Structures are given as structure tokens and as C-alpha cells.
Amino acid sequence: MRFSPFLFGYLGLLCFTLLSCKRAPTTVTENTEGPYVRVEGKTMGTYYRVQYQDSLGRDFKHELDALLVEMNDELSTYIDSSTISRFNQAEESLEIGGALELIDANTLQQSGPDTLKNTHFVRNLFRAQQIYEKTKGSFDPTVMPLVNYWGFGYTAKKPVTAVDSLKVKELQLLVGLNNIAYENGILYKSLPGVQLDFSAIAKGYAVDQLAAFLEDKGAVNYLVDIGGEMMAHGSSQRGGVWKIGINTPREEADIEDYEVIVDLDNQALATSGNYRNFYDFEGRKYAHTINPKTGFPELSTLLSASVFAPDCATADAYATSFMV
């Protein structure tokens, strides 16, 4: 097995089509009249809030929750049976689907996502590979071993009490998409300790999926928010574009303190920062953003980064990469 950064060969070209394709044209009545419905709940270790206009006032909470559970069952490192956890636990490989070469935009449109096993996992991996290459490794989904070492991963929320530079260097050998390869429906790892982490893209991806669901139901005016990663379309209940507050990036700031209010008009917004998820040890601050190139938590005067993009998975991943 030859491992290289181009882990899917020509499938790398395929992934863009798979990710960006529109659903097959269907007859949908656009909901531009009627009440705005608000749905909220918990997912991915945070909250979600969805607002949408629907002429019938339908409550889609059950369907949205089911979709979120479906994604978590593939993408969450906190669920032992999830696709990503099974890959992380595997010594050498995991079967993720044997017909990926045959999937294209038309097949996906006609047959639906259930024709491909581990659809959410595959989409996140493909998109992560694209952004990994474009950011020259600043966004790296294989950083999981380092995230766990520094106490920000699924193994334990436990601060490091003694930094072992040799251990960090050893773990860096597991980081990099050159350690993963795909062949004949099987995802291989070069070493048993290689692990994936989609936490910097999965919430954005989930936002996109909920937005797509709403559009399938005819929603034109909606806002989807998962832990501050957002997608807005059309008009808000107050009229005009959606107004979004970006939090003030200070430790002492209240959750309702905003640095700036922005218009979100038919696009996505994601923000990443080190001012909330960190710990102090012996007078030094360790933030949750791990630089995959150094192996250490990133030390920077940049407190947060906000990214606008056509889709939220892209915004989410780039916001993280800009913090490195």
C-alpha cells in the first residue's frame, strides 16, 4: 500500500462533484408566507437553533433531530460505534464502501445518500482533504492524537501536567493525510495510532445538511445555527437580511457581548477562537487549537477568526486553519 497526500487519486476530483452537487430538480412549493417556526436542541456537544418560515407552520424538530443523530453516528469521536471511532480504533483499515468509484452527481441525485455507506463520513473526509491541501496542512483532520495528548480530545478533558517534547514529536509521526490511503472501498492507515478528527468541520457540515433539508421542504427564509456556525437564507422574521452577532473575543466577555453585528445574506459564517476553550497550568495558557505542524497548542495574538463562505463546512474548516 502506497500512502500519499492524494489518498483517493482521481476520486479527489470526484469529491467536489459529490459535495457540491444540487439535488435532483423536484417540484417544491416555496414557503414565503406564514409563521416563522423556531426549533432548538442539543447536538455535537453544543446547542442548535433553527428558524424558518413555513406556510403550514410545520415543526420539523423530529426530522432535524433524526438527521443530527444520523450524522453523529458517523462523525462523533464520543460514540464508540461511530464510523470515525471504528476507524480510529482499527489497527490497519476500515471498510467504508466498495463502490465509491461509481458514485457521481447523477447517481447521488437519483438514488439518494443511502446508496453509499458512511455517506457523511466520506463527504467530510473528502472535503477535509481538499482544505488540507489548500491550506498546506494548516487544517489537518489527522491531528486527533495530539488533541488527545493535550487534553482536548475524547480520551479525557485533562490538562497536561508535564510536557514531554519527545512524546509530542513521536505523535507528530501520526499526523498528516499522507498516513491515510483509500483502495477498493477500504480506508487504510500507515500506523495503528493514526486517527481522524472532524470536529473542526463536522458542525459546519451539519449546518449545511439541515439547511438542505429545509430547502427540500420549500423553506426560502431560514437561519441554521449549530454552536455559532451558521447558514442564513432569505429574510428574517423582522424583515430584511439576517443580523448575526460575532462574540467579543475576551475570556471575561458575556456570551451576549458582541464585537460586531454583520449581515448574513444567503451564505455561511463560522468563527473559531481560543478565548473560551483553554486551561491554565503553572502560569501558561494552553488553548484547544493544536498546530499540526509543531504539535503544540498555537500561541498567537489572534483571538478569533470569522469566515464567510458559500457553505458552512468550508467556513468552519478555514476558520480553524486561520487560527494556526
Q: Is 2 a domain residue?
A: no
pLDDT tens profile 251-285: 555 656 667 889 999 999 999 876 555 555 555 66
Q: What is the pLDDT of residue 101?
A: 42
Q: Is 230 a domain residue?
A: yes
Q: Is 108 a domain residue?
A: yes
CATH of the domain at 200: 3.10.520.10
Q: Is 6 a domain residue?
A: no
Mean pLDDT, rounded, of the chain: 81
Task: Check whether 94 has a pLDDT greater than 50.
Answer: yes
pLDDT band (50, 70, 90) for residue 27: very low
Q: What is the pLDDT of residue 164?
A: 86
Q: Is 4 a domain residue?
A: no
Q: Is 1 a domain residue?
A: no
Number of domains in the chain: 1
Q: Is 97 a domain residue?
A: yes
Q: Tell me which residue range forms the domain holding 38.
A: 11-20+30-322
**SS3 sequence, the chain?**
CCCCCCCCCCHHHHHHHHHHCCCCCCCCCCECCCCEEEEEEEECCEEEEEEEECCCCCCCHHHHHHHHHHHHHHHCCCCCCCHHHHHHHCCCEEECCCCHHHCCHHHHHHHCHHHCCCHHHHHHHHHHHHHHHHCCCCCCCCCHHHHHHCCCCCCCCCCCCCCCHHHHHHHHCCCCHHHEEEECCEEEECCCCCCCCCCCCHHHHHHHHHHHHHHHCCECCEEEEECCEEEEECCCCCCCCEEEEEECCCCCCCCCCEEEEEEECCEEEEEEECCCCEEEECCEEEECCECCCCCCECCCCCCEEEEEECCHHHHHHHHHHHCC
Q: Is 5 a domain residue?
A: no
pLDDT tens profile 189-228: 999 999 999 999 999 999 999 999 999 999 999 999 999 9
pTM: 0.83
